[in-house]
Structure 1
Amino acid sequence: MDAKATEGGLNVTLTIRLLMHGKKGETVKKMREESGARINISEGSCPERIVTITGPTDAIFKAFSMIALKFEEDINASMTNSTVTSKPPVTLRLVVPASQCGSLIGKGGSKIKEIRESTGAQVQVAGDMLPNSTERAVTISGTPDAIIQCVKQICVVMLESPPKGATIPYRPKPASAPIIFAGGQAFTIQGQYAIPHPDLTKLHQLAMQHPPFTPLGQTTPGFPGLDATTPTSSHELTIPNDLIGCIIGRQGSKINEIRQMSGAQIKIANATEGSAERQVTITGSPANISLAQYLI
């Protein structure tokens, strides 16, 4: 790493986000104390957590070297009783604003190639943005040492070319999963499955039995559409032109299916000259809208 970046970096606070699985509470506490970086782990019942590491660059590198070494320990531990002979590399997934990925890849892939060659780590920038965000996953794998060198170089790029425009941060699987009411029962959608949700079902049945309490749906954020008389609202989405075809489907078959399943009205605006996106307006009750969004 060149001196300029190190000197400039010491008093610059940088935030690096990465995706991890599982709970590592104790380890994190130790990492905070030893690295001096602020380390935050997203809450929620998702298998994926976002780990945010903020601090001067040297504190970040320290935290990363601890994470990389911890991952290597885990790999070694898992190999002691396995028959695999080749040791898998340590792999970390960073979450980087898409507006910075261009600088990271460089002209014709020159920068990412340079990082790969000088650090010996494998670096992959995902082609697609993470769901509902303007961030991309950057996967780094290699030995702990290669990973630390690689993170250093990525930090330099991120400091030299800050993100442009607003970044919509990636949040693993929405905490308030879309809710479907069918046959007097409430279901939340998780991945491909609809899971019965007893608490919501109770609330839903209460809402149906007691007309005097109709405002229930409006006063309880997080339970959209509990109330049968919820006023309709509308929600706008922008969808890239190259994806709109798969949402409309053959002769409109897909979009009609989404309209029927969600019970929402969906209007797709005509393409505007020079714009790479199409405006989609969804109208209906909050539950219908959240379901239509989910299906889209």
Structure 2
Amino acid sequence: MEPPKVQSEGGLNVTLTIRLLMHGKEVGSIIGKKGETVKKMREESGARINISEGNCPERIVTITGPTDTIFKAFAMIAYKFEEDIINSMSNSPATSKPPVTLRLVVPASQCGSLIGKGGSKIKEMRESTGAQVQVAGDMLPNSTERAVTISGTPEAIIQCVKQICVVMLESPPKGATIPYRPKPTSTPVIFSGGQAYTIQGQYAVPHPDQLTKLHQLVMQQTPFTPLGQTTPAFPGLEASPPASTHELTIPNDLIGCIIGRQGTKINEIRQMSGAQIKIANAMEGSSERQITITGTPANISLAQYLINARFRDVTAMWNDPAAMTTS
């Protein structure tokens, strides 16, 4: 049977489901105070908008309905994100407005059609809508889905989503799809000052009490270890591991995003990780800067995690779209 054709303006009343991957902060913006924003989006667009449960750094937002209602819902989300960007810029020195970015979750079996032969389809989408489109090379963990990132003005994003919907309707997924389900963060637990923390997004969050109690128990047990036995009472949970040093090299043009305005970002990373972080002065003729991180292995891994998270946020916008696109 011939799959349904759909006009680029969503002329056919075809029901479709689109899944979006969002960070916690973005989800909070979509839900709004007491759920008012998402309620308004549901009412005005006519689309079903569901948000996955769970205390995860990432959440799935599912939009279902006839294509025209999906486009309305996407328009409302894109304009809301633009509003958030404008609000965040009011107290920032940046002069150029960053683009709105949405991440779709698409079955890998449909990504070939989105990219097209030799990248022809994705190139056509970029040129005709003005939006940047990237298809991730790897599948999302424990799934057969890939992330498709769209960046640009709200208008460009809406046009791009329309074209993606057309492709998805004309090339249905092949075989069974294992959907991506974000997992609660599985970052190691960091112990500091008798309190346990886990990392959620870019923040250290106090961990449930039982782990703190376990840590306190370890702290109490350690002095009673029999003489000559260096292994702590609970293997792998040392009370105070020895300090060590780790070095990173960072390109000069990215060092600013790690330091932040008047050092705010680097100080935040220092505070959250508990590590000492020193940034060497720029060397003449070198395009890189040396960063030295000193502390316990847990402090160092947390500092590295936070630096990498900062990188991902910034480089995602700068990345050459073609670099991430694979068939």
- TM-score, structure 2 normalization: 0.54
**Structure 1 residue 47 and structure 2 residue 66: aligned?**
no
Task: State the shift of 1:47 in Å.
Answer: 2.1
Counterpart of 2:153? 143
- SS of equivalent to 1:148: helix
Counterpart of 1:155? 165
Structure 2 Cα separation of the partners of residues 144 and 84 of structure 1: 20
Counterpart of 2:135? 125
- TM-score, structure 1 normalization: 0.59
One-letter amino acid of the structure 1 residue matched with residue 181 of structure 2: R
Matched-pair contact (CA < 8 Å) for 1:9–1:56 = no
Structure 2 Cα separation of the partners of residues 60 and 119 of structure 1: 18
1:257-282 CA deviation, whole Å, 9 max, x = no partner?
Answer: xxxxxxxxxxxxxxxxxxxxxxxxxx
Counterpart of 1:75? 85
- SS of equivalent to 2:6: helix
Matched-pair contact (CA < 8 Å) for 2:110–2:173 = yes
* 1:27 paired residue among 21, 27, 37: 37
Matched-pair contact (CA < 8 Å) for 2:10–2:162 = no
**Structure 1 residue 99 and structure 2 residue 115: aligned?**
no
One-letter amino acid of the structure 1 residue matched with residue 91 of structure 2: N
1:203-225 CA deviation, whole Å, 9 max, x = no partner?
Answer: xxxxxxxxxxxxxxxxxxxxxxx
Change beyond 3 A, Cα 1:188–1:12 = farther
Change beyond 3 A, Cα 1:107–1:41 = same
Counterpart of 1:209? none
Change beyond 3 A, Cα 1:197–1:73 = closer
Task: State the shift of 1:189 in Å.
Answer: 7.9
Structure 1 Cα separation of the partners of residues 168 and 64 of structure 2: 13
1:122-165 CA deviation, whole Å, 9 max, x = no partner?
Answer: 00000001111111100000011000000000000000001111
* Paired residue total: 199
Counterpart of 1:85? 95
One-letter amino acid of the structure 1 residue matched with residue 154 of structure 2: P
Task: State the shift of 1:10 in Å.
Answer: 3.0
- SS of equivalent to 1:74: helix
Change beyond 3 A, Cα 1:110–1:162 = same
One-letter amino acid of the structure 1 residue matched with residue 183 of structure 2: K
* 1:14 paired residue among 7, 12, 16: 16
1:52-109 CA deviation, whole Å, 9 max, x = no partner?
Answer: 0000000000000111111111111111121101110111011101010000000010
Give 4+ residue runs of structure 1 displaced > 2 Å after superposition: 6-11, 177-180, 187-191, 195-202
Structure 2 Cα separation of the partners of residues 136 and 14 of structure 1: 18
**Structure 1 residue 172 and structure 2 residue 221: aligned?**
no
Structure 2 Cα separation of the partners of residues 147 and 158 of structure 1: 16
Percent of aligned positions with the same letter in both sequences? Answer: 83
- RCO comparison, higher one (Cα < 8 Å, 6+): 2
**Structure 1 residue 5 and structure 2 residue 6: aligned?**
yes
Structure 2: stretches of 5+ with no match in the other structure: 190-195, 214-327
1:19-53 CA deviation, whole Å, 9 max, x = no partner?
Answer: 11222322211100000000000011112111000
Change beyond 3 A, Cα 1:73–1:178 = closer
Matched-pair contact (CA < 8 Å) for 2:57–2:184 = no
Structure 1 Cα separation of the partners of residues 171 and 101 of structure 2: 25
